[in-house]
Every structure is written in C-alpha cells, then in structure tokens.
Structure 1
Amino acid sequence: MITKKVSIIVPCYNQAQYLSEALQSVLKQTYTNWECIIVNDGSPDDTATIANTWIIKDSRFKYLEKENGGLSAARNSGIAIADGEFILPLDADDRISSKYLELAVPEFERDPNLKLVYCKAEKFGDESGNWVLPNFSLYNISQNNLIFCSAIFRKQEWKIIGGYDEKMIYGWEDWEFWIAMLKNGGGVKKLEEVGFYYRVKSNSMLDKTKGLKSDYLSNYLSVKHADFFVEHYGSFKKMQQELEQNRNEYEYKLKSEKFAIDVFCSVFFGFSIFGKYKKSKQ
C-alpha cells in the first residue's frame, strides 16, 4: 500500500466562517497519511481560534500565522514547511471528497511521468452543479486555466518552479503555476470521480479579476511565458495576421448573411431589412 505523505495547504484570509467545513473534508480522508497546514494570512477574523480547535482535535493539523501577503505568498509559506512528498492546495472555503487522496496518490506510482493529478469538480454555494472544464492539453491551457487550485503535485515541482508567483496579487496564480510546471513536459491525469467542490460566491476573486487587473495579468503572463504562448500561437506578427484574417472573414460572412436575408425579405414580404419597402406591382 502506498503511504507517501500528502501536505494539504489551507490559506485563510477572512474566511473563518467556512474554514471548519474545509477542514472537516480533510479529516474525512480515507487516505490517512496526511498533514494539513492552516496558514493564517494576517486575517482579522477569528481564524486563529477556529484553527486551534482543529489542532486540538487531530495532531495532523498544524498552524502557521504570517503577515498578510496574498494567496501566493500564503501557499508558499505553508509549502515551505510541509513534510509531505505531495502537495494539495485547498482554499479555506472549498471542500474535497473523502476519497480524493486515496484515488489520486497511487496514480503517481502508476505513471512516474505524471506531474499533476486532478479530478472532476462540482460547484456549491450561490451556484450548484457540475463544473465542466475543457480537457487538458497544452494548447487548451494556453487559452484559459482549466485546472482548479486543488490539484496534487510533488513538492519537488514547486521547488523547481520557485513557488507560486507572489507578484500575481490579483489572481490567476494557479494558471501561471500550471503553465510553469507543464510547459516543458510532464503528464497530467484527470480522475473520473468528483473529488473537489468549489464554493461559488457572488464576490469571488474570479469576479473581481476584471478590467485593468485583467489587462495587467494578461500582459504579465504574456511576458513571463512568451516562449510558451509563441509556441502555441506562433509569432506575435502571425497572431496579428490571423486576427486580421478572422476579422475580414467575419465581416464578409456578416455582409453575405445580411444580403441573403434582405433578398428573402424583399421577395417574400415586400420589405428590406434596411428599411426600404418594396413597392408591389399594381
């Protein structure tokens, strides 16, 4: 039986009301060789009090308190002191299924080339149902993030990358981390079981990542991983040419459809979509 240790990293900032639910899902794991590091990221609520109740309940829960520095910094601080060979990030307002570790960890033994294991997911909270994401490929992940934060990877991979990028204070830190980990090769396995539950809130970080913040993150990613994006999209000149070609094709198609509709309306209904009525013969 595989008994390699998994370190579950739970950053918490102003999410004390959800923390026990997340930690309960950790406690229910059928795979028992784990530790859970709760990282208090300078939270002004009662995170410390709640964390302490879980430390008393089970010695596998550990606690780290630090000044507020953002999600990436909190995860990095927790992983830095982790004893496990494998890392599982878990946000304080989410949950994992009881068999997630049991199903995921053996996959690394079956395929030594694996860098990342994740699973199917469901939403809960303000929205419910399956969280359907595109299948993994390097091209797909170059377009959008399609792996949530709670995937399992080796701590060694985190060391090689240099951790989560702490400059990404507005979000998208998971996406950047996966790109850094996978762009030069390595396998990815998606379990067919639902192992992750994502809490949807009306004021989630994803909703806040818009406008100037989104532009900043896009530009930052494009520069940091220019080699990756050029590999999948071609040179920036080629990208510009393809955009122009797509725009021209779209405009031509739109004009053609308008022309066809106009002819149809004119013949059968006696008017044009452009507002010019056709006079019928007397």
Structure 2
Amino acid sequence: MTERKEGLVSLVITNYNRARYLRECLESIRLQTYPHWEIIFVDDASTDDSVQVVREWMEEHRDMWSEDRQLVMLTLPRNIGFAGAINAGFYLARGEYIAVQDSDDYSDRERFAKQVEYLQNHPLVDLVGTNYYAFPDHAPAEKKLATWIRYGEEIRRVYGRGGHCVCHGTILFRGKLFDQIGGPTRRISGAEDYEFIAKALNSKAQIENLPEPLYYYRVHDSQRSAQYYRRKESNDAN
C-alpha cells in the first residue's frame, strides 16, 4: 500500500457528460484557500467533450502544477457506472485525506480548510460532511439551504432507521478509512452514496457534518440522483 502524503487532500471527481459544468467545478478547487490538494478526475467514457474541457483547463493553469499539486485524469474505455468510477479514483488518491465532489457542483473556497481543520481538531472523527445550498440549474441565484442534514449522534440514529443525512458530494474523510473498508459497491444502484456512509458507520467510524454550507448542489433533470433528491426535498417540506 502506498504511504499516504501527510496533509494532502485528494479530491475525486467522477464525470459522465457534464462538460458544460466542468469549468465551474474545477475553478472552485483551484480557488481553495487550503493549499495542499490534488484532483483525481475520472471520466466514465463520456460522449461529449468533457475530456477536452479538462485538458484545456489544465493547460490554461499549467503554471500552478507541481509535485504537490496535480490533476490526474483517468479516462475509462467504457462506462462502468458511479461505483466503479469513484472506486478507481479512490485507489489513485495519495492523500492523508480523500474528498468527493460531483462534476456538476462546486465548493466554497473555504471548504477544504474547514473540513481538514475539523478532522485535525477531532482525531476520533473519521469523516466529515457539510451542509450545502441547492440551486436550480436555470436559476443559480435561487439558492436554498438544505434542511435534511443531521449532526452528532443523530447521524447514526438516522442511518440505523434506514434514513440518509449526509450529502455525499460534501464528504472529506481520512484516507485510512478507505484503506480499511473500501469504497461503495454496486449492490444498491442509485444509492451507492448511502451504502458507503452506512458501511462506514457499521465499521464503527465516527461521522459528523459541519452546519456551515460549504457546497453548492446543482439541481437539473439529468443528474444521477435527481429522483432521490426530489423525494428528500419533498419529505423536508412535509
């Protein structure tokens, strides 16, 4: 097993035909106040110009790349789905910390700094998510704070009842957690993110959410989790 690089955040972004959103997604990482990060970009056999967009962005910012700041792009020869793609990214991650971001979303510039600081100050916590703003693709200024995120011991209780209260796109966790339990499986199609959090909790991992919204979740018709997200938001309104 490769020794993990102290202080490094390895961000895994999986992508399938999200070319129109990639620049905003990547720029939100370039502008992070936390300086030690790498991007693992896994393209799941996109049929649009996603790969070209990323290559052009990399070239535009070529002066910032170094041994300690890289973008590693893995282009899969055929589509293997979310679980397979994100696991491929997790295996390539070198960092002490691993983070996730969806390719159609973006992060607050303080996200990594605040999540890493939290884990450094709470050595018994293995994974930390955050609250987030959701916004419709056609009206990005209409941001709505999520209300289904939970905190503390309530997180374990919610998952114990079969519920969900951690936004997968916001998570940052210790690399050793992946080394111990692996990534999501394909057993629950469309809910791999739920299964990963539940598996972590079942392994006695400690999980927390930060109440501050540090992530921006785009709502559109073609997103992978559209049906689940709408059901969750509907439940919040009742």
TM-score range with shorter-chain normalisation? 0.7 to 0.9
Deviations 1:118-164 (A, max 9, x none): 11210012463111114242121233211111210112211211221
Are residue 45 (structure 1) and residue 48 (structure 2) matched? Answer: yes
Q: TM-score if structure 2 supplies the norm length?
A: 0.81
SS of 1:140's partner is: helix
8 Å contact from structure 1 (residues 138, 183) kept in 2 = no
CA contact (8 A) 1:121 1:132 kept: no
* Deviation (angstroms), 1:109: 1.7
Helix, strand or coil for the counterpart of 2:184? coil
CA contact (8 A) 1:28 1:98 kept: yes
1:178 aligns with 2:183: no
Matches within 5 A, 1:144-223: 144-149=163-168, 150-168=170-188, 170-208=189-227
1: distance between equivalents of 2:226 and 2:113?
33
Aligned equivalents of 2:228, 2:204: Cα separation in 1: 29
Letter in 1 for 2:118: E
SS of equivalent to 1:18? helix
| Structure 1 residues 48 and 167: alpha-carbon distance in aligned structure 2, compared to 1, 3 A threshold | same
Task: Name the CA distance, whole Å, in 1 between partners of 2:221 and 2:171.
Answer: 24
Distance 1:206 1:71 in 2: 11
C-alpha displacement at 1:208, in angstroms? 4.4
Q: 1:117 aligns with which of 118, 125, 128?
A: 128
Residue 135 of structure 1 corresponds to 150
CA distance in 1, matches of 2:17, 2:184: 21
Partner residue in 1 for 2:92: 81
Give secondary structure in 1 for the equivalent of 2:126: strand
**How far apart, CA to CA, are the structure 2 residues paired with 1:145 and 1:203?**
22
The total of aligned residue pairs comes to: 207
On the 8 A contact 2:133/2:146 being kept in 1, the answer is: yes
Return the alpha-carbon distance in structure 1 between the equivalents of residues 46 and 91 of structure 2: 20
Residues 163-217 of structure 1, C-alpha deviation per residue, up to 9 Å, x if partnerless?
211344x31111100011112423223223211111111343334469xxxxxxx
Task: Tell me how far apart the structure 2 counterparts of residues 54 and 32 of structure 1 sit (CA, whole Å).
Answer: 19
The Cα shift of 1:37 comes to 1.2
Distance 2:157 2:143 in 1: 28
Q: What secondary structure does 1:205 align onto? A: coil
> Runs of 5+ in structure 2 lacking a partner?
1-5, 230-238
Partner amino acid for 1:166? R
Which residue among 80, 104, 111 is the counterpart of 1:100?
A: 111
Q: Is the 8 A contact 2:219 2:226 kept in 1?
A: no
Tell me: CA distance 1:131–1:55, structure 2 relative to 1, closer, same or farther (3 Å): same
Higher strand share: 2
- For 1:134 and 1:64, how far apart are their aligned partners in 2? 32
Deviations 1:12-61 (A, max 9, x none): 10111111111011111000100011111111111110110232214222
Partners in 1 of 2:106 and 2:220 — Cα distance?
14
What is the identity, as a one-letter code, of the residue corresponding to 2:186? Answer: E
What is the CA–CA distance in structure 1 between the aligned matches of 2:29 and 2:114, rounded to whole Å? 14
Classify 1:186/1:208 alpha carbon distance in 2 versus 1 (closer, same or farther; 3 Å).
closer
d(CA) in 2 for partners of 1:182 and 1:190?
14
**Cα distance change of structure 1 residues 51 and 84 upon mapping to structure 2, 3 Å threshold:** same
Structure showing greater relative contact order (alpha-carbon pairs closer than 8 Å, 6 or more residues apart)? 2
* Contact 1:55/1:63 (<8 A) preserved: no
Q: Percent identity?
A: 29
In the alignment, structure 1 residue 65 sits paired with structure 2 residue 79: no
Tell whether the 8 Å contact from 1:117 to 1:189 is kept in structure 2 after alignment. Answer: yes
Corresponding letter in the other structure for 1:21: E
Q: What is residue 18 of structure 1 aligned with on the other side?
A: 21
d(CA) in 1 for partners of 2:72, 2:202? 33
